[in-house]
């Protein structure tokens, strides 16, 4: 039976931190370059500029492969090979990628320090399997694998902090697009850069660091230095989306965040906007906020989570909802028709029913992300470390009430309403 591997996505921003590792990687890159020529894998030596690019690729690959040695043995490194990644142009291109990156993989394979375990392929219109490689025992002949730790590495800042994407196509896919900088983009980028500086200086820890490195739900590492954020906008518009992405805490299961994250030495609290999108929709409609739980459409607490999925899907839908959204249908009574559920939802929330199917969701997401960035920036200005998490912030438990008040005040400032419900969750004590 073929062994199944979990993919760790290659991160081109890793570099050697310690002088010893940096020198070892340079020596390794020189050996690879000489090996190419001696084995006939390359006809002539690289120019100085090409040699510099090759060395950068070797360094990034070596760092990623050494990280794999610290993980469970069912983890393999997922390396990009697609044309768009290798020869992309514009603000999203990365100097690590190109012909020199593919050559680095090939020569490491020929030398026997890494092994290709699978070649990427597309298995449906919406999904594809990555190309996977793993380090071999021979890597220790060239690199200081014994004694290596995640602290031996540093991570460069993201090449671009603002990502503008197309709308989703028929296969539910969207792609980054280039754009011209403006006063708006400079202000947005400066905002994220300041936030990243504060996060970089913050006292953020993950407990049990001595165990094998953990793989996050996004295929990245759960490590403290992975805290640089970027902001992703949708539908070719700076008014749609804008959610923050990239922080290690965003890829951790909820229970694990409470168990393992420490901010300034303390366990964390999760301070969360509840029912935010529909409440923002009521504000947009100029309607009075309903009492109680907006998602309790049936009025008795049953199928609440299913109604939540359906209501938010209606706010994001651009046109009539033709199929049940994922995670909703199975929780309704057997035989429930989508049309009947939508009609019940429209009766329950008549004041905002005219906003259903208008594609409003991404605009509401923009409001959400603006509010969270303002709250987190305010808390940092008060000396409180805060990690943004979509519609919530993570803070040390002793600062939970301060964060709750800041979130309430920010909602009121932007909407003129004090209707928002901010909850505080301490996890298990």
State the pLDDT at residue 124: 43
Q: What is the pLDDT of residues 336-392, one digit of tens each?
A: 999 999 999 999 999 999 999 999 999 999 999 999 999 999 999 999 999 999 999
Helix (H, G, I), strand (E, B) or coil at 184: helix
Helix (H, G, I), strand (E, B) or coil at 422: strand
State residue 376 phi and psi, 5-degree precision.
-65, -40
Helix (H, G, I), strand (E, B) or coil at 231: strand
Half-sphere exposure at residue 56, Cβ-oriented, CA atoms within 13 angstroms = 17
State residue 100 phi and psi, 5-degree precision.
-65, -30
Residue pointed to by tokens 């490195």: 213
CB 331 within 8 A of CB 203: no
- What's the rounded Cα separation, in Å, for the pair 282 and 287? 5
Q: Which residues pair with 176 in a beta bridge?
A: 165
Count the neighbouring beta carbons within 10 Å of the beta carbon of residue 267.
Answer: 18
Q: Which residues of 139-158 are buried (b: 16+ CB within 10 A; e: fewer)?
A: beebbbbeebebebbebeeb
What are the residue boundaries of the structural domains of the chain, listed by start? 6-155, 162-276+361-425, 295-348
Sequence-distant (≥ 6) Cβ neighbours of residue 95 within 8 angstroms = 53, 56
Q: What is the pLDDT of residues 174-226, one digit of tens each?
A: 889 999 999 999 999 999 999 999 999 999 999 875 557 889 999 999 998 89
State the pLDDT at residue 123: 41
């Amino acid at each position: 039976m073929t062994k199944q591997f979990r993919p760790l996505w290659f991160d081109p921003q890793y570099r050697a931190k310690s002088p010893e590792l940096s020198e070892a990687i340079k020596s390794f890159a020189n050996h690879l370059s000489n090996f190419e020529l001696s084995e006939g894998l390359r006809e002539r030596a690289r120019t100085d500029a090409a040699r510099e690019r090759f060395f950068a690729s070797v360094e990034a690959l070596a760092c990623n492969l050494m990280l794999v040695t610290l993980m469970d043995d069912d983890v393999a490194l997922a390396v990009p090979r697609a044309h768009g990644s290798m020869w992309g142009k514009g603000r999203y291109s990365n100097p690590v990628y190109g012909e020199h990156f593919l050559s680095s993989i090939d020569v490491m394979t020929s030398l026997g320090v890494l092994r290709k375990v699978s070649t990427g392929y597309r298995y449906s219109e919406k999904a594809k399997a990555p190309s996977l490689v793993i380090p071999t025992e021979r890597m220790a002949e060239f690199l200081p694998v014994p004694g290596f730790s995640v602290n031996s590495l540093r991570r460069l800042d993201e090449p671009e902090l603002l990502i503008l994407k197309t709308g989703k196509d028929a296969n539910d896919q969207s792609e980054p697009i280039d754009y011209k900088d403006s006063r708006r983009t400079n202000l947005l980028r400066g905002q994220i850069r300041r936030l990243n500086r504060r996060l970089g200086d913050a006292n953020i820890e993950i407990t049990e660091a001595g165990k094998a490195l953990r793989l996050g739900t996004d295929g990245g590492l759960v490590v403290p230095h992975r805290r640089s954020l970027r902001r992703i906008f949708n539908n070719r518009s700076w008014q749609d989306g804008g959610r923050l992405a990239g922080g290690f805490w965003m890829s951790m299961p909820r229970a694990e965040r409470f168990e393992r994250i420490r901010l300034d030495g303390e366990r964390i609290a999760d301070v969360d906007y509840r029912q935010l999108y529909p409440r923002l929709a009521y504000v947009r409609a100029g309607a009075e906020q309903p009492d109680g739980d907006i998602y309790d459409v049936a009025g008795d607490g049953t199928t609440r989570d299913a109604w939540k999925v359906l209501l938010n899907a209606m706010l994001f839908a651009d046109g009539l909802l033709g199929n049940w959204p994922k995670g909703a249908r199975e929780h309704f009574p057997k035989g429930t028709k989508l049309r009947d559920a939508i009609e019940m939802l429209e009766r329950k929330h008549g004041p905002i029913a005219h906003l259903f199917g208008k594609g409003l969701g991404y605009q509401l997401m923009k409001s959400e992300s603006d509010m969270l960035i303002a709250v987190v920036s305010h808390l940092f200005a008060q000396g409180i470390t805060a990690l943004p998490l979509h519609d919530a912030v993570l803070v040390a438990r002793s600062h939970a009430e301060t964060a709750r008040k800041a979130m309430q005040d920010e909602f009121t400032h932007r909407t003129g309403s004090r209707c928002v419900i901010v909850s505080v969750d301490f996890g298990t004590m």
